[in-house]
Protein backbone atom coordinates (compact mmCIF):
# COMPACT_ATOMS: atom_id res chain seq x y z
CA UNK A 1 0.00 0.00 0.00
CA UNK A 2 1.30 3.45 -0.89
CA UNK A 3 0.04 6.27 1.31
CA UNK A 4 0.63 10.03 1.14
CA UNK A 5 0.85 12.05 4.36
CA UNK A 6 1.93 15.71 4.37
CA UNK A 7 3.69 15.35 1.01
CA UNK A 8 5.54 12.23 2.22
CA UNK A 9 5.06 8.97 0.31
CA UNK A 10 5.22 5.82 2.46
CA UNK A 11 5.01 2.26 1.16
CA UNK A 12 3.68 -0.20 3.76
CA UNK A 13 3.82 -3.97 3.39
CA UNK A 14 2.23 -6.21 6.03
CA UNK A 15 3.60 -9.75 6.23
CA UNK A 16 2.69 -12.99 7.92
CA UNK A 17 5.44 -15.44 7.09
CA UNK A 18 4.82 -19.17 7.61
CA UNK A 19 5.77 -20.69 10.94
CA UNK A 20 6.68 -24.08 9.53
CA UNK A 21 9.22 -23.49 6.73
CA UNK A 22 12.40 -21.41 6.84
CA UNK A 23 12.86 -22.07 3.11
CA UNK A 24 9.51 -20.44 2.30
CA UNK A 25 10.21 -17.60 4.77
CA UNK A 26 13.52 -16.91 3.03
CA UNK A 27 11.95 -17.04 -0.45
CA UNK A 28 9.17 -14.69 0.61
CA UNK A 29 11.39 -12.13 2.36
CA UNK A 30 13.73 -11.96 -0.64
CA UNK A 31 10.71 -11.38 -2.93
CA UNK A 32 9.28 -8.71 -0.59
CA UNK A 33 12.62 -6.93 -0.33
CA UNK A 34 13.13 -7.09 -4.11
CA UNK A 35 9.64 -5.69 -4.71
CA UNK A 36 10.26 -2.78 -2.32
CA UNK A 37 13.63 -1.98 -3.87
CA UNK A 38 12.13 -2.07 -7.37
CA UNK A 39 9.58 0.51 -6.19
CA UNK A 40 12.18 2.80 -4.56
CA UNK A 41 11.39 5.72 -6.88
CA UNK A 42 7.74 5.68 -5.80
CA UNK A 43 8.15 6.30 -2.07
CA UNK A 44 10.26 8.26 0.38
CA UNK A 45 10.06 5.53 3.02
CA UNK A 46 9.32 1.82 3.03
CA UNK A 47 7.90 -0.09 5.97
CA UNK A 48 7.67 -3.88 6.19
CA UNK A 49 5.91 -5.06 9.32
CA UNK A 50 4.07 -8.00 10.77
CA UNK A 51 4.59 -11.53 12.01
CA UNK A 52 7.87 -12.86 10.67
CA UNK A 53 7.55 -16.12 12.66
CA UNK A 54 11.28 -16.17 13.32
CA UNK A 55 13.54 -14.46 15.81
CA UNK A 56 16.16 -11.76 15.56
CA UNK A 57 18.90 -14.38 15.14
CA UNK A 58 17.21 -15.81 12.04
CA UNK A 59 18.44 -15.61 8.47
CA UNK A 60 15.37 -13.48 7.66
CA UNK A 61 16.28 -10.80 10.21
CA UNK A 62 19.98 -10.91 9.33
CA UNK A 63 19.06 -10.52 5.64
CA UNK A 64 16.82 -7.52 6.30
CA UNK A 65 19.47 -5.78 8.41
CA UNK A 66 22.21 -6.32 5.83
CA UNK A 67 24.13 -8.97 7.76
CA UNK A 68 23.50 -11.92 5.44
CA UNK A 69 22.65 -12.81 1.87
CA UNK A 70 19.92 -15.28 0.92
CA UNK A 71 20.07 -17.12 -2.40
CA UNK A 72 22.70 -14.63 -3.58
CA UNK A 73 20.43 -11.65 -2.86
CA UNK A 74 21.11 -8.86 -0.41
CA UNK A 75 18.98 -6.11 1.07
CA UNK A 76 20.72 -2.97 -0.17
CA UNK A 77 20.00 -0.48 1.15
CA UNK A 78 19.18 -2.54 4.18
CA UNK A 79 16.41 -2.13 6.72
CA UNK A 80 16.36 -0.89 10.31
CA UNK A 81 14.33 -2.89 12.83
CA UNK A 82 12.49 -0.24 14.81
CA UNK A 83 12.08 -2.00 18.18
CA UNK A 84 15.75 -3.01 18.39
CA UNK A 85 16.91 0.50 17.50
CA UNK A 86 14.52 2.11 19.98
CA UNK A 87 15.46 -0.30 22.78
CA UNK A 88 19.17 0.37 22.20
CA UNK A 89 18.67 4.15 22.20
CA UNK A 90 16.60 4.01 25.41
CA UNK A 91 18.79 1.41 27.14
CA UNK A 92 15.85 -0.98 27.41
CA UNK A 93 15.55 -4.72 27.06
CA UNK A 94 13.87 -6.06 23.94
CA UNK A 95 10.72 -7.73 25.25
CA UNK A 96 9.34 -10.77 23.39
CA UNK A 97 6.27 -10.66 21.18
CA UNK A 98 5.69 -14.42 21.31
CA UNK A 99 5.73 -15.30 24.99
CA UNK A 100 4.23 -18.69 25.78
CA UNK A 101 5.26 -18.28 29.42
CA UNK A 102 3.61 -14.94 30.29
CA UNK A 103 0.99 -14.32 27.59
CA UNK A 104 -2.44 -14.82 29.20
CA UNK A 105 -3.56 -16.61 26.02
CA UNK A 106 -1.26 -19.51 26.93
CA UNK A 107 -2.20 -19.60 30.63
CA UNK A 108 -2.44 -23.12 31.98
CA UNK A 109 -0.60 -24.66 29.03
CA UNK A 110 2.89 -26.07 29.16
CA UNK A 111 5.37 -23.71 27.52
CA UNK A 112 7.30 -25.38 24.73
CA UNK A 113 8.95 -22.28 23.25
CA UNK A 114 11.34 -19.76 24.72
CA UNK A 115 10.00 -16.19 24.43
CA UNK A 116 11.01 -14.63 21.09
CA UNK A 117 10.68 -11.47 19.00
CA UNK A 118 8.68 -12.67 16.03
CA UNK A 119 6.74 -9.48 15.30
CA UNK A 120 8.69 -6.55 13.94
CA UNK A 121 8.61 -3.25 12.08
CA UNK A 122 11.38 -2.55 9.57
CA UNK A 123 11.98 0.85 7.95
CA UNK A 124 14.03 1.46 4.82
CA UNK A 125 14.89 5.11 4.46
CA UNK A 126 15.53 5.70 0.77
CA UNK A 127 16.81 9.27 1.06
CA UNK A 128 15.43 10.99 4.16
CA UNK A 129 15.74 10.82 7.93
CA UNK A 130 13.26 9.66 10.53
CA UNK A 131 12.89 9.65 14.30
CA UNK A 132 11.44 6.89 16.47
CA UNK A 133 9.40 8.66 19.15
CA UNK A 134 7.88 5.63 20.85
CA UNK A 135 7.57 1.87 20.53
CA UNK A 136 5.17 -0.25 22.56
CA UNK A 137 3.74 -3.73 22.71
CA UNK A 138 -0.03 -4.10 22.86
CA UNK A 139 -2.37 -7.00 23.53
CA UNK A 140 -0.38 -7.98 26.62
CA UNK A 141 -3.36 -7.86 28.99
CA UNK A 142 -6.57 -9.82 29.23
CA UNK A 143 -9.57 -7.88 27.92
CA UNK A 144 -11.91 -7.27 30.88
CA UNK A 145 -14.99 -7.66 28.66
CA UNK A 146 -14.30 -11.03 27.03
CA UNK A 147 -11.42 -12.25 29.21
CA UNK A 148 -9.26 -12.97 26.18
CA UNK A 149 -5.85 -11.80 25.11
CA UNK A 150 -5.85 -10.42 21.58
CA UNK A 151 -3.50 -12.98 20.08
CA UNK A 152 -0.91 -15.61 20.78
CA UNK A 153 1.58 -12.85 19.84
CA UNK A 154 1.76 -9.34 21.26
CA UNK A 155 1.36 -6.54 18.75
CA UNK A 156 4.00 -3.89 18.05
CA UNK A 157 3.16 -0.19 17.72
CA UNK A 158 5.61 2.56 16.77
CA UNK A 159 5.31 6.32 16.56
CA UNK A 160 7.73 7.28 13.79
CA UNK A 161 8.31 10.85 12.69
CA UNK A 162 9.37 11.06 9.05
CA UNK A 163 11.72 14.00 8.54
CA UNK A 164 11.52 14.55 4.79
CA UNK A 165 11.50 18.25 4.02
Q: pLDDT tens across 52-63, in order?
A: 999 999 999 999
3-state helix, strand, coil in the chain (%, to 5): 25, 30, 45
Residue 164: what pLDDT?
77
Q: pLDDT tens across 82-132, in order?
A: 999 999 999 999 999 998 888 877 777 777 778 899 999 999 976 788 999
Residue 149: what pLDDT?
77
Indicate the CATH number of 2-162 among 3.40.50.300, 3.30.413.10, 3.40.50.150, 3.60.10.10.
3.60.10.10
Q: Where are the domains of the chain?
A: 2-162
Q: pLDDT tens across 27-48, in order?
A: 999 999 999 999 989 999 999 9
List, in sequence order, every residue forming a beta bridge with 153; answer none if it has no partner.
98
Mean pLDDT, the chain, rounded, equals 92
Using alpha carbons, list the distances in angstroms from residue 136 to 78, 87, 116, 141: 23, 10, 16, 13
Between 95 and 143, name the one with better pLDDT.
Answer: 95
Amino acid sequence: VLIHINNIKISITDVHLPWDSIKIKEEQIVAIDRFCHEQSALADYFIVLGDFNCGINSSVHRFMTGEQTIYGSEAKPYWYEVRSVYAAIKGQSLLPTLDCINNPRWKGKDATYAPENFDRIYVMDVRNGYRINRVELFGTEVNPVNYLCASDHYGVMADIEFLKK
